[in-house]
Structures are given as C-alpha cells and as structure tokens.
Structure 1
C-alpha cells in the first residue's frame, strides 16, 4: 500500500491467459500421503506466484495435480523447477517423519 490505496488481488491466471503451461501429476500409495503433500505445498501457491507464472493445485484421492502456467518459457521452466522441488521436499519430509 505505498500510495495509501489497498492492494487488489490479481485475477487468477489460467491456461487460456498464458501461452505456456504444464500439468504435473504425482500419484501416492494412498490418499492420506497425497493429502499430506498437498497441504504442505498449498501454502506456497500465493507466495510463489509472480507476474509471469502461477500455479493451481488439485487433489483427487491419491493423486496431486499441479498446473503451472507462464507467459514465457523461461518463467515456465522456473515454475516447473520450483514446484518439483517443493513437492520433493514435502515427500522427503513426510517419509522422514514416518521413520
């Protein structure tokens, strides 16, 4: 709020708005594991979005889907790397907590 006006939420970016996108699908042994990973990475959705890329998450049983859209290929690659890393860290943390 640098100019005294409240900030407005940016409209959600969709694959129709952005020329580049990728859908990442992660399947787990059971719905509980998928839900743990989804809860872990969901909090990053609003924090990671930039001007050129965004992501949405969906959970369906034992499958987590991350839909990344971007304005250009460089931003898409960065988004892909970011979300794959976030999911990987969540998976490793979940596995470590089970041992």
Structure 2
C-alpha cells in the first residue's frame, strides 16, 4: 500500500514539476545534451507529464479494483489528480503551442 501511494503521489508531483517548469527544463536540457531546438525537448517533457498523470490515475483506479482503497478515497484521489492534472496540462499545452508559434 505504501509503495503504491508513493508511486501515485510521486508520479503526480513529477508530472506537475515537468508540466509547470517544462520551459526552463527544455533550455537546461538543450544546454547539457545535444544542440537541437529546445521545442523538441519541451514536446518530450509535455508528453511525459501527460503520461505520468495517466499513470497516477490508473494507479489509483487499480488500487480501488484490488480493494486496497475505498470508494470515498478513490473519489478524493480522482478529484485531486483531475484538478491538478487538467490545470497543469492546459498550461503546458498552452506553452507548447506558443513555442511552436
């Protein structure tokens, strides 16, 4: 149970960091790795962030299916993941669209 909760919250926190700080991370990755356009790094970071939100959602759902968490706790998890995930994903997609011009 602890490992699964750590996975859910860890992926949620990492996805939020990648979604909100993606622009700075893209410039950072451009400076230390291959000299390609930073927008490609931002694409990868945005996709990873969306994937991690999906993993958080699925992790909570599978915990419910294995009867490790109750229905009320599942609703709380889904509400939190959805609120944080939607706002952060909209922001990161907005930044990505602005970078592509």
TM bin, normalised by shorter chain, reads 0.3 to 0.5
Higher normalized helix content (fraction of residues): 2
Higher normalized strand content (fraction of residues): 1
TM-score, normalization by structure 2: 0.37
Q: RCO greater where, 1 or 2, for CA within 8 Å and sep 6 or more?
A: 2
